[in-house]
Amino acid sequence: MSDAPQRFDAVIVGAGFSGMYMLHRLRELGFSCHVLEAGDGVGGTWYWNRYPGARCDSESMYYSYSFSSELEQEWNWTERYPGQPEILKYLNHVADRFDLRRDITFDTRVNAAHYDEAANEWTITTAAGDTLVATFCIMATGCLSSPNAPGITGLDTFEGATYHTGEWPHEGVDFTGKRVGIIGTGSSAIQAIPLIAEQAEHLTVFQRTPNFMVPAHNGPLDPEFERDWKADYAEWRRKGRESFGGFPYPAGNRSALELSAEEQLEAYEEAWKIGGFRFLSTFYDLIINEDANETAAEFVRSKIAQIVKDPETAQKLMPRDYPIGTKRLALDTHYFETYNRDNVTLVDIKTNPIEAITPSGIRTADDEHTFDAIVFATGFDAMTGALSKIDIRGRGDLALQEKWEAGPKAYLGLGIAGFPNLFTITGPGSPSVLSNMPVSIEQHVDWIADCLVYLRERNVVAIEATVEAEEAWVAHVNEVAGFTLFPRANSWYIGANIPGKPRVFMPYVGGVGPYRARCNEIAAKDYDGFALTSV
């Protein structure tokens, strides 16, 4: 980049699913825009998370863009759930097909974004000190893009290799003959553990909280299934958009509690056979009624008991402290079976806590473990982490970090009071991480694109969420969460995985369909809840 700041209608930060589509939309609408991306390629999540077994839990036919029917028709997925390399290939194909790269600067981390009130413009500063100036700043920085490396004592003293699943080396890692420790048993760990166990001499898993899982049943995509989908893609997409979670299958219409134990069992067995997230749609009340939820939780625990041969290990693997589905459900491919291997050990760090990382491994209260490598599958500073790492300042030099000190506040997860012309794609207060995310991402991008056209047509130079609308939305987000069992879990949805992070339920659980309708209604009412400033 040259020394003089380049000027754009919009600067977009991030080149994952969100930033790529945002660029495409705005460019087509005649806005000048540019994307800054920390990585050296497109893909976001699928660029960074290259750990063994990294794979999507959304099915390939709907974990994809819907904006181009040509793209939908020409791309052929190979498996029911796409693996990381295939999604990355797809996103690179999208970048090429829509000629996106010419407006993306890679290897460029944004450190600051400051709003100049007098000039009504954002100055975006990169880590290298370059600046770009734009009327609109759009954060497409991702909900799960700021890896959480736990601050365990002695971390820096370890003499072996360390890896975080969210920053995996591009060349891969060969664990053959190695003694490996892995910390964490979330979605990333449960995908990596079976594959690392196959390679390593020994794998020790440090589990803080056991995770509920249902089988993925991955396999090659049936060509007939693909043909059927492609013949009716628009309808499948409509179903996803109008659904609760962005998944195009029906929500449960029965209560678990209206059935006998045998009938419940039959329904769960059927869902278990199908596999995937729809397990939670077996009954409509699993996420809102504790007794209903317990029937599903107990079913999964019974499956763990059947699969894991050592009863003590099976007991350790059974989640009991939170309702099923209130921490992100994981999809299992040979995870529980892995504990039947001789070269795998499970350490329950709730009863036997990690005291320190030592030069040779990990010391727990009861034991000393020697490792050649430690894998941190410890997740992310979710939803706010990537935004908090950027020095974002709005009107009156207000820092976003300061505004969000007690927890994030945003209107629809799209706009923030005090920060005119700043948009967040899938920000806190939107369904985002509770949904099949491409559906939510496309909805946000389309809403922002339509909004910018509206402003341009009416000579409106600034749009900003009002404090009242923001407060009302945050109260609504909390109220809806309070109707569910979600707040019962110490999940990353409420920031519980990051020491010191305020405990606030961040995503909107009201459902993708109703949320979309609300966003559309607000736009139709001339952006109700936003203050517009005209020239």
Q: How far is CA 271 from CA 121, 207, 215, 259, 278, in A?
A: 52, 27, 10, 15, 7
Nearer to ligand FAD, 361 or 379 (CB): 379
Nearer to ligand FAD, 8 or 371 (CB): 8
Q: In what order do the strands lie in the sheet with 361-364?
A: 354-358, 361-364, 368-370
**Residues 12, 23, 49, 329: which binds ligand FAD (CB under 6 A)?**
49
Does 16 bind ligand FAD (CB under 6 A)? Our answer is yes
Does 184 bind ligand NAP (CB under 6 A)? Our answer is yes
3-state secondary structure at position 152: coil
**CA nearest 384: which of 328, 432, 456?**
432
Beta-carbon contacts of 516 under 8 Å, excluding residues fewer than 6 positions away, are 241, 242, 443
3-state secondary structure at position 515: helix
**Residues 90, 380, 404, 527: which binds ligand NAP (CB under 6 A)?**
380
Whole-number Å distance between alpha carbons of 135 and 509 = 32
String marking each residue 415-444 x if it binds ligand FAD according to CB under 6 A = ----------xx---------xx---x---
Count of residues of this chain found to bind ligand FAD when the rule CB under 6 A is applied: 37
**Residues 35, 182, 346, 377: which binds ligand NAP (CB under 6 A)?**
377
Q: C-beta of 268: minimal distance to ligand NAP in Å?
A: 21
Q: Which among ligand FAD, ligand NAP, none contacts residue 150 (Cβ within 5 to 8 A by kind)? A: ligand NAP
Residue 410: what are its φ and ψ, rounded to 5°?
Answer: -150, 160
Residue with tokens 């694109």: 449
Nearer to ligand NAP, 385 or 511 (CB): 385
Q: Which among ligand NAP, ligand FAD, none contacts residue 208 (Cβ within 5 to 8 A by kind)? A: ligand NAP
**Residues 188, 295, 421, 424: which binds ligand NAP (CB under 6 A)?**
188
Nearer to ligand FAD, 14 or 319 (CB): 14
Q: C-beta of 188: minimal distance to ligand FAD in Å?
A: 5
What is the sign, positive or negative, of the torsion defined by CA atoms of 322, 327, 329, 335? Answer: negative
Nearer to ligand NAP, 140 or 434 (CB): 434
Q: Which among ligand NAP, ligand FAD, none contacts residue 186 (Cβ within 5 to 8 A by kind)? A: ligand NAP
Does 386 bind ligand FAD (CB under 6 A)? Our answer is yes
Window 17 to 36, contacts with ligand FAD (CB under 6 A):
17-19, 36
Query: Residue 411 in contact with residue 429, Cβ under 8 Å?
Result: yes
Selected range binding ligand NAP among 173-181, 230-238, 337-345, 374-382, rule: CB under 6 A = 374-382
Selected range binding ligand FAD among 13-21, 228-236, 253-261, 281-289, rule: CB under 6 A = 13-21
Window 272 to 291, contacts with ligand NAP (CB under 6 A):
none
Whole-number Å distance between alpha carbons of 259 and 265 = 9
Whole-number Å distance between alpha carbons of 423 and 25 = 15
Pairing of strands 460-465, 131-139: unpaired
Q: C-beta of 249: minimal distance to ligand FAD in Å?
A: 14
Cα three-residue angle 287-288-294, rounded to 5 degrees: 65
Nearer to ligand FAD, 267 or 392 (CB): 392
Count of residues of this chain found to bind ligand NAP when the rule CB under 6 A is applied: 25
Query: Residue 333 in contact with residue 194, Cβ under 8 Å?
Result: yes
Whole-number Å distance between alpha carbons of 22 and 16 = 10
Q: Which among ligand NAP, ligand FAD, none contacts residue 379 (Cβ within 5 to 8 A by kind)? A: ligand NAP
Residue 300: what are its φ and ψ, rounded to 5°?
Answer: -65, -40
**CA nearest 451: which of 413, 414, 418?**
414
Window 293 to 332, contacts with ligand NAP (CB under 6 A):
328
Does 154 bind ligand NAP (CB under 6 A)? Our answer is no
Q: Which among ligand NAP, ligand FAD, none contacts residue 184 (Cβ within 5 to 8 A by kind)? A: ligand NAP
Per-residue 3-state assignment (H helix, E strand, C coil) for 184-213? CCCHHHHHHHHHHHHHCCEEEEEECCCCCE
Cα three-residue angle 146-165-61, rounded to 5 degrees: 90
Selected range binding ligand FAD among 47-55, 292-300, 493-501, 527-535, rule: CB under 6 A = 47-55
Residue 364 forms beta bridges with which residues?
354
What's the chain's Rg over C-alpha atoms? 23
Q: Which among ligand FAD, ligand NAP, none contacts residue 325 (Cβ within 5 to 8 A by kind)? A: none
Residue numbers of the site for ligand FAD (CB under 6 A)? 13-19, 36-39, 44-45, 47, 49, 54, 56-58, 63, 109-110, 140-145, 188, 386, 389-390, 425-426, 436-437, 441
Residue numbers of the site for ligand NAP (CB under 6 A)? 55-57, 144, 150, 165, 183-189, 191, 208-209, 328, 349, 377-380, 433, 492, 497
